[in-house]
Amino acid sequence: MTNADPMTGIERRAGREAVLRRSPFWALGRVINSERPWPWIAPVVILLLGIGLYPFIYNIRNSFREFNPMTGNVEPVGLENWRRLLQDDRLHGAFLTSAKYVLAALVIEFVLGLAIAVLLNSGPAISGLWQSLMILPMVVPPTVAAVMFRVLENPDYGALQWLLEGVGLIDKQEPLLGGTGRYAMAAVLIPEIWQWTPFFVLILLAGLKALPQDPLEAAQVDGAGAWRQFWDITLPMLRPMIAVAVLFRLVDLLKVFDYIFVLTSGGPGTRTEVLSFYAYQRSFVTIEWGYGSVLGIVILVLAIVLANVYVRVFKVAW
């Protein structure tokens, strides 16, 4: 008998592969068996680009157009919206208000957070319970927290107002919310600090717990006091943790909106009008979408620049 099949083994394999190539599962098999990373990450990259990049590009396009209430149409305006940036006194005021807000919140939250973290790290018996409770404010949506504080700070029946009146810090004529608005900035900072100081506490506490004990024990042997140990050893070693926490909060604080919207609506006048609230006002109250887009881009650029300056100035090493 002779072999009737004229095809070699190689030809048979090539034939099978050609059939497989026509199968819809062939490409999927190639991806699954691939050792290269791009087929795996490509879908996510495309998705993220779609979600992140498209609105950004749309915003840039929008910044060169403006809604015209007379015609009811969005019309091209060239660089007009960008020129307006330089002449807008209210924007400059909002910029200063944002700076005050960010600085005050960051300093207070950091100092309080560090103090509480050190206290909890010193090991009181119920520190575990406190650590759990610390998470609670952070899981409350900021808008809900703001509404809660609107009740607490109410000049007529607010518990916080009553407490501060009791210790003589404020009076009925000049309450936290209302009156001439002297304490309006404090009124919006209070929920901010209540909600986000625990963020510092948790990060710094984790850092404190992870610090090596040898340098501290050596300093003790050398006779360094508690303050000296903290200032010269603990704090420098904690620097990477501090850097991360401050950077996260800095970027977040630039976007603050909820507390302002619920508690003061930027007022009285423009006293608590921060950049993001001003951008909201332009976009959705006065329906100046183009200028609102410009302000959105400004906030984004500001966050990127500040974050980079911070990383370089403070020599943040990850």
Residue 156 sits in the site that holds other proteins (CB under 8 A)? yes
CB of 149 to other proteins, least distance (A): 9
Confirm if 233 and 254 have CB atoms less than 8 A apart: no
The one-letter amino acid at 154 = N
Q: Which is nearer to other proteins, 65 or 249 (CB)?
A: 65
CB of 245 to other proteins, least distance (A): 28
Tokens describing residue 140: 């409350």
Tokens describing residue 161: 């107002």
Q: Which is nearer to other proteins, 23 or 180 (CB)?
A: 180
CB of 51 to other proteins, least distance (A): 20
Distance between CA atoms of residues 277 and 258, nearest Å: 9
Of residues 191 through 250, those in contact with other proteins by CB under 8 A are none
CB of 69 to other proteins, least distance (A): 4
Q: Which is nearer to other proteins, 40 or 284 (CB)?
A: 284
Q: Which of 39, 137, 179, 215 binds other proteins (CB under 8 A)?
A: 179
Stretch that binds other proteins, among 46-54, 149-157, 216-224, 294-302 (CB under 8 A): 149-157
The one-letter amino acid at 284 = F
Confirm if 254 and 98 have CB atoms less than 8 A apart: yes
Distance between CA atoms of residues 7 and 12, nearest Å: 6
Of residues 256 through 295, those in contact with other proteins by CB under 8 A are 264-270, 281, 283-288
Q: Which is nearer to other proteins, 285 or 301 (CB)?
A: 285
Of residues 27 through 66, those in contact with other proteins by CB under 8 A are none
Q: Which of 70, 125, 313, 317 binds other proteins (CB under 8 A)?
A: 70
94-113 footprint of other proteins as x/- string (CB under 8 A):
--------------------
Distinct helix (H) and strand (E) counts, the chain = 17, 2
Tokens describing residue 246: 């401050």
Question: 3-state secondary structure string, 222-278?
Answer: CCCCHHHHHHHHHHHHCHHHHHHHHHHHHHHHHCCCHHHHHHCCCCCCCCCCCHHHH
Distance between CA atoms of residues 177 and 154, nearest Å: 7
Question: How many residues bind to other proteins according to rule CB under 8 A?
Answer: 35
Residue 173 sits in the site that holds other proteins (CB under 8 A)? yes
CB of 215 to other proteins, least distance (A): 39
Secondary structure (3-state) at 79: coil
Q: Which of 119, 147, 237, 251 binds other proteins (CB under 8 A)?
A: 147
Distances (CA, A) of 184 to 98, 160, 195: 14, 14, 18
Site residues for other proteins per CB under 8 A:
67, 69-70, 72-74, 147-148, 151, 154-156, 172-175, 177-181, 264-270, 281, 283-288
